[in-house]
Amino acid sequence: MIKPHGSDTLNPLFVQDSNKRDELLKEAASLPSIVISSQAAANAVMLGSGYFNPLKGYMNLSDSIKVAEKMYTADGIFFPVPVLNLLKNVDDIKGKERIALKDPNVDGNPIIAIQTVKAIEELSDTDKKMIGDKVYGTDDKEHPGLAIWESLGNFMVSGPIEVLNFSYFETEFPETFRTAYQIREEIEKAGWEKVVAFQTRNPMHRAHEELCKMAKDGVNADGILIHMLLGKLKKGDIPAPVRDASIRKMVDLYFPPNTVMITGYGFDMLYAGPREAVLHALFRQNSGCTHLIVGRDHAGVGSYYGPFDAQKIFDDEVPADALEIEIFKADHTAWSKKLNKVIMMNSVDDHGRDDWVFLSGTKVRELLANGEKLPVEFSRPEVAEILGEFYRSEAGK
């Protein structure tokens, strides 16, 4: 199986021993505590899950600046985005060596992790803007990821953490949420050597289905990991339970048995386009995957990024030895009326716009909300029914 990023074995920060966790929870009761941001809590989940291997905790200012500028920490660890615990107020934790981190996303704000504080540094407005510009590729505050970044505090609390739970992800998505080490175990149990990963924050339509099959065949993979984001999204995105149900229905009916693993991970979407595509590759390598599908507008939003910027970054900015995972570069896929099947659009040169079945996101939502059927060339009818039920219920609210 492919090695994790940055180490010979995966080193998740979740405290596996239940007795040790109980001891830490008792300690946490006596520690100064603070409610962290949703993004910091998601980072804790990813650190605990092993997805952010080989990091041991939240980055400091020096590492954050170097990662933003060069995608390397001061110690030479390749990483595409800063992993931070930013706070607006640190009065209650100044001078403290250990602090308890409270989860903002669960009622009662339970302790999600304990952090050993190495430094508390104030991020200047200049540095904050630079990091935002580098990671998100824009200074437009309408960008949903940058808007969240701007809303976070400027106090950077760095240091290693011990993760005590996986927030709401295990309880709300028990059939889907998996850590990187659990996925590695499942891949090993299945006997898969070559695994292609598909990242999604959306339901999967015919084009996505066929793209997964094309990639599997193209790299001669043993199986496909469909890996969906379960954390916070922007307004208008389809909730995780609806996506989960539609994807499971599609796989059950239209993929050969024992060729697909359906899983999810606990992270808040950054919408950072190219930088987030590299992050996706890193934590799929940590999950044991050998290939990641990167298509048009991967991890993008609006028109902030070029259609293939998420592919170009691997050629232009990611050093060849930075990651072991390979990228399966995909063009936009759509139903060809001429060939009567889904193909990559760049594979033919005799098609005009009228030879493809296209539907905008707005048109899809409009059809579903009105109880109208999506074209079978665009969506499997069983998937469309699940999505239609959701949109009709939303319209009735």
pLDDT tens readout for residues 165-222: 999 999 999 999 999 999 999 999 999 999 999 999 888 999 999 999 999 999 999 9
Give me the active site residues, please.
Answer: 201-202
Neighbours of 386 (CB within 10 A): 20
Q: Which residue has the tokens 């996505």?
A: 208
Residue 266: its pLDDT value, please?
Answer: 97
The token pair at 92 is 């209650």
Q: Is 328 helix (H, G, I), strand (E, B) or coil?
A: strand
Return all residues near 45 (Cβ < 8 A) that are at least 6 apart: 112, 163, 166, 167, 169, 266, 267
| Residue 397 pLDDT level (bands cut at 50, 70, 90) | low
- Give 121's DSSP letter: E
Element counts in the chain: helices (H) and strands (E): 13, 15
Instruction: Domain ranges for the chain, please list them.
Output: 18-170, 175-395
- Give 8's DSSP letter: S
The tens digit of pLDDT for each residue in 65-92 reads: 999 999 999 999 999 999 999 999 999 9
Q: Do domains 18-170 and 175-395 have the same CATH topology?
A: no
**Which CATH number among 3.30.200.20, 3.40.50.360, 3.40.50.620, 1.10.10.10 corresponds to the domain 175-395?**
3.40.50.620
Question: At residue 394, what are phi and psi to the nearest 5 degrees?
Answer: -70, -40
CATH topology of domain 18-170: Sulfate adenylyltransferase (3.10.400)
